Structures are given as C-alpha cells and as structure tokens.
Copies of this chain bind each other. A is one copy, B any other.
Amino acid sequence: MAEPLKVGLAGLGTVGSAVIELLERGRDKLVARCGRPIEVVALSARSRSKKRRFDVRAFRWVADPVALAQDPAIDVFAELIGGAGDPAKQAVETALACGKPVVTANKALLARHGPRLAALAERHSVALNFEASVGGGIPIIKTLREGLNGDSFTRIYGILNGTCNYILSRMEHDRLAFEDCLREAQRLGYAEADPSFDVDGHDTAQKLSILASLAFGTKVDPDAVYVEGISSITLPDLDAASELGYRVKLLGVAVKTEAGIEQRVHPTMVPKESAIAQVMGVTNAVTIDAEGLSPITLVGPGAGGMATASAVVSDIADIARGVRAAPFGRPAARMTAIRKAPMQRHEGGYYIRLLARDRPGSAATIARRLAQQQISLESIVQRHESRAEHASEPGRSGEAVPVILITYATSEDAVHKALAAVRRDRVVSGRPQVIRIEKN
C-alpha cells in the first residue's frame, strides 16, 4: 500500500475532535477511496489537559501551531483554530510557504486574506482547501470551484447562518418574539453568549464574500457587503409575509448587475413555494443561478461538529488522492478586483410596514410620497388589528394603524427617499419596517 498521508492538526474544539473521530471511523473507506491511509500524527491546541472525547496521549503534541505547520513529519496542515489573525494566519502562511497543503474551516481568514493566501499556495504548488468554511457539510465550495465550470453565474444566494434560520423558524412556528428565540438558541448551543456576529449578519457576510469570489472570479471582499441583521424582525412581519405568500429568511445574496457585483445580507422575503423557503431550523441552503439554466439548490447541515468535520475530511482526502484545484477556481492572478454595486442602486420589490396615524389624509400622503419616487404598489393592506398584537412595538400609539405595502421593482434609493418624506410629513409613528423581496 502507498505511504499514509500524515496530518498535523491545530485546534481541538468541536470540529477538530470530530475530524479525529471521523478519520478513525472512516479509515478503511478512506483507504479504498484515496488508495492510501490518512493518519493524524501531531496535534496542537491551547490546552493539552482539557477533557476530550479521545486520548490526546495517542498523538505527538506540539504546543505552538506555527511550529506544527512547518514540522517536517507532516504532509498536510489542518487549521481549525479560527479567527482572521494570528496564530491561525501565521500558521497557515508558514505551512504554505513550506510547501505543505492546508485544509482550513476558517471563514474569517479566507474572507480577509483569501486572495493573498491563494497566491501563496499557487506559488508553492500546494492545495488550499476550505470546504468547511461555508455551509458546513454542504459541498458548495467544490461545486462552485470545480463542479459547474461551464456555467456563467448570474446570482448566488443562500441561508448561510444556522443560528438566524433557527431563530426565524422558531419565531414563525411557535409565535415567539425574537428575544425569546435567541435565548432558546443560546440555551441549545446554537447561538453564542455574544450573538451579534451571527444575528447582525456578519457571519453570513464573510461566507457570502467567499462564495461570490468563487462564482464571479472576483477577489474576496467582505467590506463590499451590505449587512443588515434580523433583530428588527417582529411577529407581525412574519404574519404579514405569510399572508402575502412569503417567508422571511436571512439571506446572503451576490448578484451580477450592470453596475458591478452587488453583495448584500439582510432579512429577505422569499416566495413560500421556493426551495429556499422550505429550509427550516439550523439547516443551510445555497441556490446558484446561471445563464440559460434552471437554478441549482444545495441543502444540508450548515454547522455542527460532524458536518463541518465531514467537509474537512473531504478536503484532506482530496489531497491524499492528489487532486489540487486553484483555491478560488482560477489562477490567483486572474482574480479581478470587485466592482462594487452600491446598495442605493439595488433594484427589487419591497415590503414596507408603517404605523400610520389614524387620521384623515394619512393614506393619501403616503401614497403621494411613493408616487413622487415613481414607486408602484403591487398590494396595500391597511387594517385595524387587535391592540394586543402590537402592544410591545415601540412607537405604537393607540391611534396608529399598520399599513403594509408591497412594491413592484424599484430602487433602494427611491424607497429611502419616499420613507424619509413620509416621516417628515409626520403621518406615521415609529420607524418604518422595510424588508427586501427576492424572487426565484
């Protein structure tokens, strides 16, 4: 049998430990698939003495991950430390510079330093694989990088954060407020103690920037992503969406427009019958649109130790089999600077929920302000609802009546201007709620 592939693994959290377990359990299958065994030969982590599901004493211990990255006894370096800074960054750079292929689950590192690391990997003719960085166990990186080479992508969008999708699913299903669902997610370990990175959309933005790069051949640029989180979404929004045939999801969307690449993360209304609307709980999903083709959707576990570890092991197996693709699907020199489409130029349908003061002329004023911006309405619903439903909403006074507007395609800029005018007119109370609509 061929020589085993010797792995040095840094970072022993949930994912690192699951990788060790999967490699052990899948040993024979991996030999059959790769033609050689895969062996973890050395480990590195902050604490050696921490209680773990496996015996660390079975492996050589290297306290410093950067030392492990250049250890002559390893063939491949698996970075599961996380974070865009050191030691993860230094360790990955060191391994690549030593001519060792790298497998990483580190979305922050890729989002921040992807193009530079890809160039480094290319210079040393080694693989840099990061399937686990986006979409957990869904093979979305490989699909974009190697699987759909003939296609001209026009749009890629998806549910990339399980925490947010869990919260929105629970809100809808159990009629609970955002805060209650967030607490529940924290209790179940789906959300961090500081949940802002997830619920404010930043996690999704990093992942989206990686997918956009693979789809459009642009340099990864998380700063070019417009980001809005889900904390402003209320039950009345979900109810109104449902009545109108939509469901609310936190989507990351990257679209090719005439103005450039538009990258945005925000709560989004998607048609209830679309594939992406069916995705509930911590599951992730990505839809790929290409010219002249029906959309392709991939659905699967977006997080969790085993799902992420499964992606890491796949990446290691590719290295064992000698497969090496350009990290971002094309030579680093051919990755183009992103031409950022500004958000105010975004065109699409909008859901707008206003609390109109219940007095003559309010509706007419709102309608006039929208018309002044050339905004056409697909539907308008105004209704006196039971007060209890809105009791908790800030700004709701006894006399305010919810008005829900669905616009035809219009520009972000027009919507902002119309709503600013409506607020100046003092015909609404509180802040209008605006949710973009994404059609499939």
Q: Which residues of A contact B (CB under 8 A)?
A: 22-23, 25-26, 29-30, 32-35, 131, 137-139, 142-143, 146-152, 217, 273, 275, 278-279, 283, 290, 292-301, 304, 306-307, 309-314, 316-318, 321, 323, 325-326, 329-331, 334
Assembled-state Cα–Cα distance A298/B142 (Å): 13
Shortest CB-to-CB span from A300 to chain B, Å, is 4
Q: Which residues of B contact A152 (CB under 8 A)?
A: 25-26, 29
With contacts A146-B142, A150-B309, A299-B296 taken as known, whether A321 is within 8 angstroms of B314 at the C-beta atoms is no
Task: Tell me whether B300 and A296 are in contact (CB under 8 A).
Answer: yes
Most buried by B among A137, A152, A273, A283: A137
User: Secondary structure of the A side of the interface?
Assistant: mixed
Q: Find the B residue at minimum CB distance from A297.
A: B299
How many copies are assembled?
Answer: 2
Q: Find the B residue at minimum CB distance from A292.
A: B306
Q: Which 7 A-B pairs have the closest CB atoms?
A: A150-B313, A149-B317, A139-B147, A296-B300, A294-B301, A297-B299, A149-B314
Q: Find the B residue at minimum CB distance from A279.
A: B275
Q: Which residues of B contact A317 (CB under 8 A)?
A: 149-150
Task: Tell me whether B314 and A22 are in contact (CB under 8 A).
Answer: no
With contacts A32-B334, A306-B292 taken as known, whether A143 is within 8 angstroms of B147 at the C-beta atoms is yes
Task: Tell me whether B273 and A283 are in contact (CB under 8 A).
Answer: no
Shortest CB-to-CB span from A37 to chain B, Å, is 13
Task: Tell me whether B296 and A149 are in contact (CB under 8 A).
Answer: no
Shortest CB-to-CB span from A389 to chain B, Å, is 27
Q: Which residues of B contact A296 (CB under 8 A)?
A: 137-139, 298-301
Task: Tell me whether A318 and B149 are in contact (CB under 8 A).
Answer: yes
Q: Which residues of B contact A290 (CB under 8 A)?
A: 310
Q: Find the B residue at minimum CB distance from A318.
A: B146
* 18 sample A-B contacts, Cβ–Cβ < 8 Å, listed by A number: A25-B152, A30-B150, A33-B217, A139-B143, A146-B323, A147-B147, A149-B318, A150-B311, A150-B312, A150-B314, A290-B310, A293-B310, A294-B301, A294-B304, A294-B307, A296-B298, A297-B297, A297-B299
Shortest CB-to-CB span from A4 to chain B, Å, is 15
Task: Tell me whether B293 and A307 are in contact (CB under 8 A).
Answer: yes
Q: Give which listed residue, B139, B149, B273, B297, contacts A148 with CB less than 8 A.
A: B139
Q: Which residues of B contact A138 (CB under 8 A)?
A: 296
Task: Tell me whether A299 and B275 are in contact (CB under 8 A).
Answer: yes
Assembled-state Cα–Cα distance A33/B278 (Å): 33
Task: Tell me whether B297 and A300 are in contact (CB under 8 A).
Answer: yes
Shortest CB-to-CB span from A211 to chain B, Å, is 15
With contacts A138-B296, A294-B137 taken as known, whether A314 is within 8 angstroms of B148 at the C-beta atoms is yes
Task: Tell me whether A30 and B149 are in contact (CB under 8 A).
Answer: yes
Shortest CB-to-CB span from A131 to chain B, Å, is 8
Q: Which residues of B contact A131 (CB under 8 A)?
A: 147
Assembled-state Cα–Cα distance A216/B133 (Å): 27
Q: Which residues of B contact A292 (CB under 8 A)?
A: 306
Q: Find the B residue at minimum CB distance from A145.
A: B33
